[in-house]
Structure 1
Amino acid sequence: MLVCSAYNFYPKMIKLTWYRDGQEVTGDVISSEELADGDWYYQIHSHLEFTPKAGEKISCEVHHTSLKEPKLVDWDSSMPEPERNKIAIGAAGLVLGVYHKKKSSTIL
């Protein structure tokens, strides 16, 4: 199970899309609604259940008006599991940092 999450975004409208080898995946995807954080910001989570295959490229793409261009995060099935976990944590931190910076810069 892979999870793609976005946090601290506003406005509410956002789109998370999964890709397998460049093709959009619609089956085996479960997504939450945009969830209010209670401070005018939102979070959303999308889960992809799949059986990995060697050489397969899985990506999650985030579309939101606060981003200049869509944010694409790739999962690399050829890496050892501990390194994949480090990348997943790093990617989540990067996305949180982008949204946090945007949030911080818009508060007066």
Structure 2
Amino acid sequence: MTGSVLRNVEVDRPSGAVGRLWWLPAGGQGNGLDDVGWAPLADLFPETVVPVLEALRVAGAAGYVAHVPPRHLGTIAGSTGERRRPSSRLWVGVSTDQTAEDTVASVLRSLDPGRAETEP
């Protein structure tokens, strides 16, 4: 996984407690699993969010997806040549980052082998 890794800073929290961190965007959707730190992994199209989060949950990897303003996302050419913008960013738990990366790649290939997804 490339990019910086963000770590939890204990603020009025019991030692060893984990949870969705205060700096993850509000209004997102998680898969019910938590981690001690989070890192962005991919930008997703709306139709891929639920299958990706479910696959991550089954694999035991924490996942969280939130809407990202279009100005922060690139345009992607899909398998039919149309140009689209993903609208959500996926963060994964750093303790299972390799599992998450492998799982997300597998899910996205199975959903549409011709469509490209991007890393932030």
Scaled by the length of structure 1, the TM-score of the pair is 0.31
Tell me which protein shows more helix as a share of its residues.
2
Scaled by the length of structure 2, the TM-score of the pair is 0.29
